[in-house]
Structures are given as C-alpha cells and as structure tokens.
Structure 1
Amino acid sequence: MYVMTIDQRGSTGDVDRVPGLLKELAGLSTGGRFERSVGDEVQGVVERADEVVDIALHALRSGRWYIGIGVGEVDLPLPASPREGSGPAFVAARAAVDRAKAAAAHVPLAVVAGGRTRKASTPAGAASNAAAGTAASAAGAAASANGTARSQAAANAEAVLRLIGRLVQDRTAAQWKVVDVLRSVRHGANGTHGTQKIAAQKLGITEQSVSRAVMRSGWQEEWAARPAAEMLLALADSLMTGTTEGDT
C-alpha cells in the first residue's frame, strides 16, 4: 500500500492551491482518495504503483509541491477519511515529505518504506533457552535482510522517480503543449511517427517541430523509465512482511 503526502511549496506567499490539486488528483487514481490533511497539505492512500507514479509526476510538473511517498502497511479497515488513517506507511509518508523538503533545490520527491515491529516466535513446547535464542536470532537476521532489501527498493524507486521528475520539471510550455497532445492522441505512446503526424495536424505545426519537441522534452525516455519506477515501488511494497520499524 502507498500513502502519499503532498505539501504546497512557498504557501505563505502564494494562494491556496489545494482545491485545484484535489480536483486534478480525482482523475488520476481509481481507488485512492485524497483530502486536505492540514493547512496546505493533502494526503491519500493509493493501491497501485502506476497511479503513484502518475500522481507524483503530475505534482512535480507545476513545481509547486513537495511529494512524499510512504510504502508499507496501513491499519485496516481503512477509515472513510485518509486523515484518520494510521500504520507504518502513514509514518513513512510523513518522513518522506520532510525529506522531499530537504531536497527542494533538486527534485522535491522522496520515497520511504515503513515497517512494523514483529516479535520472533518461540519454539513450541518446553524449548530450551538456547533453542529459543537461536530461533530469535534467525528471525532477527531474516527481518534485517528483508528490511535492507525493502529500503534499497524504496531508495531505487526514489532515484528513478527523481530522474524522470527532472525531465518533467525542465520541460518548456511549448514542449508541454506537444506532449499533452501526444498523450491525448495515444495515451502512453512513445512518440511514434504516426502519432506525431496526428499531433502536428492538431497543433497546426510541422512534424519536424513535433519531433524536436519530443526529443528535447525527454518524453520517450520518461515513458521508457516509468515501468522501472512502478516495479521498484511494487517490490518495496511486497517486502513488508517481517520488516522492523527501525528501518524507516
């Protein structure tokens, strides 16, 4: 499960942009629900890794948001409001958005994996202290290895998302105009010649102009890298069992 905390940048000298963001996010997540959590911050729970990537990159586009992604367990059943949710993923999302703020000069996004402390089981019956100690040690080693893998997957997901985010942040208004048309023509396309021809006709420009915009915007690179970010987020989420809270 993924918890996303998105905080407005420079809100003290800007208008409240939360209502507009909430409206935009409603169309990007099929099952997730976002709400204002406090002040100029929104929070939501998302089940699908691809939607996390969509939401994160959409928020990065405007340059007005810090994005924190917490990966891990949430306490079930989920409450009606994300503001009332709890669990390691919520704690991780808070840590993530704080880290994103520290990276504001770069790409303000962070991914943190949250774990829950789990006690090692004691051997059944009249097990000796030595046997119990061995079992606890083995369980602790397994949890530590799992936690390391989980944290690494989260760090790798963050690295890929920041690389893609840099492409998104650096696009000019003219490049976005082309990219938006290309996405509307064929959602998720990689800029094939036929798609670019249709986009050129819609925009009233030459195919060469569209081709240059695609190349300079890094659109093809973005869509080639998105699956890697999704896979790494899903991997971090799959490694929750047996992790320890101290890994966050």
Structure 2
Amino acid sequence: MYVMTIDQRGSSTDIDRVPEFLEGLKPFSSARFERSVGDEVQGVLDEPAAVVDVALHALRSGLWYVGIGVGPVNLPSPASPREGSGAAFVAARQAVDRAKAAAGHVPLAVVSGGVQRGLPASAGGVAGNRNAAGRDAGVRACANAEAVLRLIGRLVRERTEAQWRVVDALRAKNERDPGRHGLQKQVARELGISDQSVSRAILRSGWQEEWAARPAAEMLLATAHGLIPDTVSPDASNRGER
C-alpha cells in the first residue's frame, strides 16, 4: 500500500488550508484523505497513478510537504486513516520529515517501509542475504521514484498562471497528447488567445515532458510495492505519528 502524509508549509503564519486542500483532492483519487493532526492530512492508496496525481497536485501550490510511504499496513483496514498502522505509516512519517528537511529541493520524499516478499526481517544466512537484497532493491526503487517525482514536481511548481490556464484546459479534455490535431486550436478559442500562445505555453510549461515521465514514476512506485508484502498481521505498535 501507499500511505501519503501531507503537511502544510508555514502554517504558523498562514491560514488553515486543510479544508480547501481536502476538497481539491477529490478529483484525483477515490481514496479517503482526512486531517490527521493539526495542519496535516493523510490517506491510504493502492494505485501508484493516484499517488502521482495527488503528489503533483499538492506540489502545484508550493504550500505542502509531501511524504509517501510504501509498505505493508496492518489489517483489518480501519475506517479512518488516522487509525491505521503498519510500516507504510511509519515510512510516510519519515518521508514527510525528510521532505521538510529538503531545503532548496522540491519538498517531496518517498520512503520504503518493507522487506522482500515472503522473507521475515529476522532471517539469517542465505535467506537473510536475500532479504537484505530485496529490502535494498525496494529502497532503491523508492529513491528512484522520488528523483523522478521531484523532477516532474519542479516543472509543476515553476509554471506561470498563464501556463496553468492552458494546461488545465488541456487536462479538462482528458487528453494526454496536447499535440493532437485540432486540440490546441480548441483550447485557444476557449481561452480567447492565439494558437501560438497555446503552443508556447505547452512548450514552456513542460506539459509533454510531465506526461512522458509520469509512467516512469508510477512504474518505480509499483516496483517498490512489488518487493514488499501488501499487508501484515494486526499490530498497533507501528503507527506513523508526529
């Protein structure tokens, strides 16, 4: 599973933006997100594409730290993310703390919270070596997913309002190919701007690069998820808390 812990930046000197943020998440994922504590929200997702959507939406405004934990969650699944536990919750807490410490970088981190599927963490000998190799592979996959998401996140964070108007109009048409014949002309007419302005906005916004890179981030998150168990037995001892 993927646990996302998202914390508001500069909340001590800003208004509470959690209610507006939660409302804005609804188009991006069917997963339940809710305020976990203070100015922080949390949700549990099972699809890497939804994780990428939510992460980039959060990064767009520059107002949030994004932590993504990949790993097992304890069963039975609770009705509220606030009541969840498991290694993915702990990893998400570590991830958001790392995001806060990423001075000068896109404030996002991905942390692995599991071990290789089918091998206990305490295994020794050959099994222990295989276990360590699987764990390391999961860590690498998370690090690679983080790197790709930060690159895409920088494109998202640096877009101007004018570029976002074009990008949002393109996305509203559910099109991942802004170069498709006729689409740019439709957007230009809707926005009352020239075809050339739309073309420049697409080029300078990195829209095509974003959608070319999203599958790579999704694949790396899925790879990390595939190296670790989906669930573990009930155990309330590993909660991700402040």
Q: Which amino acid aligns with 1:118?
A: A
The alignment partner of 1:222 has SS state of helix
2:54 aligns with 55
**Alpha carbons 1:186, 1:195 under 8 Å: kept:** no
Q: Which residue of 1 aligns with 2:72?
A: 73
What is the Cα deviation at residue 58 of structure 1?
0.3
> Which of the two has higher C-alpha Rg?
1
Q: TM-score, normalised by structure 1?
A: 0.88
1:39-83 Cα shifts (integer Å, max 9, x gaps)? 000000011000000000000000000000000100011101100
Q: Confirm or deny: 8 A CA contact 1:175 1:213 kept in the other structure.
A: yes
- In 1, Cα distance between equivalents of 2:12 and 2:28: 27
Q: 1:5 to 1:100 in 2, by over 3 A?
A: same
Q: Secondary structure, in 3 states, of the residue corresponding to 2:72?
A: coil
The 2-side partners of 1:25 and 1:52 are apart by 11
Query: Are 2:125 and 1:118 aligned?
Result: no
Which structure carries more helix by proportion? 1
Percent of aligned pairs sharing the same letter:
68
> Could you report, residue by residue, the CA deviation over 1:86-137 in whole angstroms, capped at 9, with x for unpaired residues?
00000000000000001142200000010265343xxxxxxxxxxxxxxx30
In structure 1, the partner of 2:191 is 203
Tell me how large the CA RMSD over aligned residues is: 1.4
Contact 2:67–2:110 under 8 Å retained in 1: yes
Whether contact under 8 Å (1:183, 1:189) holds in the other structure is no
Contact 2:56 2:156 survives alignment (8 Å): yes
- Alpha-carbon distance between aligned partners in 2 of 1:213 and 1:47, rounded to the nearest angstrom: 33
Give the alignment's TM-score, normalised by structure 2: 0.90
Partner of 2:170: 182
Instruction: Decide whether the 8 Å contact of 1:59 with 1:65 is kept in 2.
Output: yes
Unaligned runs of 5+ in 1: 121-135, 242-248
Where does 1:1-248 land on structure 2 (aligned, <5 Å)? 1-30=1-30, 32-115=31-114, 118-120=121-123, 136-241=124-229
Secondary structure of the 1:67 match is strand
Structure 2 stretches lacking a partner, 5+ long? 230-242
Equivalent-residue separation in structure 1 for 2:175 and 2:103 (angstroms) = 30
Whether the aligned pair in 2 keeps the contact of 1:66 and 1:104 (CA below 8 Å) is no
Q: How many residue pairs are counted as aligned between the two chains? A: 226
The amino acid across from 2:45 in the alignment is V
- Counterparts of 1:115 and 1:185 in 2: how far apart (Å)? 38
Q: Partners of 1:171 and 1:119 in 2: how far apart?
A: 47
Distance 2:83 2:103 in 1: 28
Cα distance change of structure 1 residues 53 and 234 upon mapping to structure 2, 3 Å threshold: same
The one-letter code sitting in structure 2 at the alignment partner of 1:184 is A
SS in 2 for 1:180: helix
Matched to 2:7, the amino acid is D
